[in-house]
Amino acid sequence: MEQLLKFLPTRPQAWWVRYGVTALIVAAVFLVRAGSGGLTGPYGFALFVIPILAASIVFDRGSGFFATGLALTLVGTLLDWSAGVLPHAPALVTFLFVGMVLAFTGESLRNVAEHAVESERSKDLLYRELSHRIKNTFATVQAVLRLQARAQSSDLVREALEAASGRCSAIFQAHDHLAIQGDTVEMRAYLNTLGASLADGHRDVRPIAITVDAEPAMLPSSKAEPIGLIVNELVTNAFKYAFPENVPGTVHIKFFQTGGQWRLEVIDNGIGCPAEVKSGLGTTIMKLLAQQLGGRLTREDGKPGCRVILEFAISGG
């Protein structure tokens, strides 16, 4: 609708422009009517519907009224008035009424279109403002958690606050991509951004790299956010446990389709999978997120390192 309005002149126009252009359109249609003989009937009023609507949509209903009156006048020059006015009165009155209705309708269509476009622009502006405020809120929460973590003397409390900050970051990154693309998230860009954020947040001066290999895919936010949170938990665990004593290494994030399913893999080349996985808050969160996706988490020896796999169906929201 906005594209259609771009082809229409802005309103209001000077009166001589409105009525001059309207007169030219009506005159052109009248020439067609005059040259058609009896093909368009004794009056040919149907031909004038187009200029009346066009004038009222492009300009205003006043131009539509002018087109109606001009059409009546021009058609009148072709009629046989020897029998008086009465034989033509019903047709002329009917056309006058129809022309006025068309003029009102045309202007109303233009007004509705303009209001719809303006409402859409206002909605987009409000949405961008809301997204900006949410972004600032996430950034504030994350900064507070990090500051609070640095002020803690207890390692357990500090780790819990840092983990909460990382989860906020994963959700924030998904929201940031959602704000740009609408109701879906492009997973390659999202996982690359999340990987870079996790690297900056966890690496410090440790020689550990994060790489991402993801297929281009548009997923709804209901799937993208849980995937981001799972990636956050797995990468955080790899930094904490897979590379002790500043051992160099790599954490590789993969996301692709296989056999009618999405498959997420987080692979490290560290010391390997533990024999038993501790059942902490992070593990509980990942299990719940996997259930939310309708998928399952598995862990296997990467030889070297550890590979954690999440698989869930492609279909569904």
Please check whether residues 202 and 285 belong to one and the same domain: yes
Within a domain: 131: no
Within a domain: 126: no
Give the tokens for residue 265. 């893999």
- Domain count across the chain: 2
Look at the chain and count its residues.
317
| pLDDT score recorded for residue 135 | 64
Within a domain: 157: no
pLDDT, one tens digit per residue, over 150-171 is 766 677 777 777 777 766 766 6
Please check whether residues 109 and 176 belong to one and the same domain: no
Query: What is the rounded average pLDDT for all residues in the chain?
Result: 80
Please check whether residues 106 and 177 belong to one and the same domain: no
Within a domain: 130: no
| pLDDT score recorded for residue 312 | 92
Instruction: Give the pLDDT band of residue 239 (cuts 50, 70, 90).
Output: confident
pLDDT, one tens digit per residue, over 190-225 is 899 888 888 877 656 567 889 999 998 888 888 888
One-letter amino acid at 4 equals L
Distance CA 46, CA 190 (A): 58
Please check whether residues 175 and 306 belong to one and the same domain: yes
What CATH code is carried by the domain that includes residue 216?
3.30.565.10
Core vs surface per residue 24-63: b (16+ CB within 10 A) or e: ebbeebbeebeeeeeeeeebbbebbbebbbbbbbbbbbbb
pLDDT, one tens digit per residue, over 243-281 is 887 788 899 999 999 888 999 999 999 888 876 767 777
Largest pairwise CA distance in the chain: 112
Nearest to 144 by CA among 173, 118, 164, 171: 164
The helix (H) or strand (E) run that includes residue 212 is strand 208-214
Instruction: Give the pLDDT band of residue 309 (cuts 50, 70, 90).
Output: very high
Full domain range(s) for residue 254: 168-313
Give the residue, 266 or 18, on which the prediction is more confident.
266
Please check whether residues 180 and 300 belong to one and the same domain: yes
pTM of the model: 0.54
Please check whether residues 172 and 297 belong to one and the same domain: yes
Instruction: Give the pLDDT band of residue 317 (cuts 50, 70, 90).
Output: very low
